[in-house]
Structures are given as C-alpha cells and as structure tokens.
C-alpha cells in the first residue's frame, strides 16, 4: 500500500481550492487526482484539517452496543436463528447483516451447531442415515468386474 500524501501538499491544494481555483485545475497543477482534491477539501471544511486519517486499527463490532440485549434474547430463546436475531435488531433500528451477528457470537465464544433433538435420539436407525455407522454406498456397489476393470494376471 502506498503512503499518504504529505500534509504540506494537502494544505497547498486546499488553499488553492479555497482561493477560487477549480478542483480540476488544482489537480492538474499539483499532479494529484481530482478525487483527492475533492476529498481533501471536504475534509478540511468538515474538520478544519486536511490531514490523513489514521490507517488500520481495530473497529468495534457493529452490534457491540447491543451485547446485553443479544445475550438476554439468546438466553430467553436458545433455538433462535442468527437471521431472526438480525431481523429483530433491524426492528430495533440497528441495521446489521447476518455475518455481523455471526461474528459477534463467534467473538463471544457462542456457537450455533446443529445437534439431534431429544425426540430424534430414540428413533430407530436405518442403514445409511449417518447415525448407524454403516454406509449406504456399501449396499449399492456390487463387486462385479468388467473387462476394463478386471485385475490382470500377476507377473513375476
């Protein structure tokens, strides 16, 4: 990644725009993009400085402010889905994605793994349902040889 332009250059660009020059002419004069001139001018008008913002760092989770509500809601209804939680958050005025909710719970050490329900644990098993230990494929493959798959004679 490239480095940020110097503060001196930024201030000269902003001063030229403030003096009445057009953004395009200032961009050509200082050999920077028009978008940079516009962004630096907007930043100067908004904050009083055209300095570059801090690069990197950690951002807080989008739903961190709703931590207590999310944990209470999960305790209240343990089988709630992440999509349902995202929908409930949007109803509360917090627009977040499914991934944002998933990432929050991952950070909290809470997982939503699928498991057998109590009613399914006593159900009789059938071959190939994944719980009996037997493979359904074993019963479907017949030990028949064709001329192209027959093992050849062993040679010494």
In angstroms, the CA 17 to CA 34 distance is 11
**Confidence at 122, pLDDT banded by 50, 70, 90:** low
Q: Give residue 78's pLDDT.
A: 85
Does pTM top 0.75 for this prediction? no
**Confidence at 140, pLDDT banded by 50, 70, 90:** low
Three-class SS of 8-20: HHHHHHHHHHHCC
Residue 63 clears pLDDT 80, i.e. is over it: yes
Residue 119 clears pLDDT 70, i.e. is over it: no
In angstroms, the CA 99 to CA 134 distance is 36
In angstroms, the CA 44 to CA 116 distance is 59
Q: Give residue 125's pLDDT.
A: 57
**Confidence at 54, pLDDT banded by 50, 70, 90:** confident
């Amino acid at each position: 990644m490239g480095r940020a332009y110097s503060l001196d250059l930024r201030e000269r660009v902003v001063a030229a725009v403030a003096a009445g020059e057009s953004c395009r002419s200032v961009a050509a004069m200082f050999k920077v993009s028009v978008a940079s001139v516009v962004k630096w001018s907007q930043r100067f008008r908004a904050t009083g400085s055209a300095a570059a913002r801090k690069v990197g760092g950690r951002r807080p989770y989008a739903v961190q402010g709703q931590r207590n509500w999310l944990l209470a809601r999960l305790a209240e209804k343990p089988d709630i889905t992440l999509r349902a939680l995202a929908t409930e958050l949007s109803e509360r005025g917090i627009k977040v994605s499914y991934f944002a909710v998933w990432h929050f719970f991952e950070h909290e050490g809470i997982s939503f793994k699928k498991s057998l329900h109590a009613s399914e644990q006593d159900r009789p098993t059938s071959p190939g349902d994944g719980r009996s230990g037997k493979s359904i494929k074993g019963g479907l493959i017949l030990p028949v040889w064709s001329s192209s798959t027959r093992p050849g004679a062993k040679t010494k």
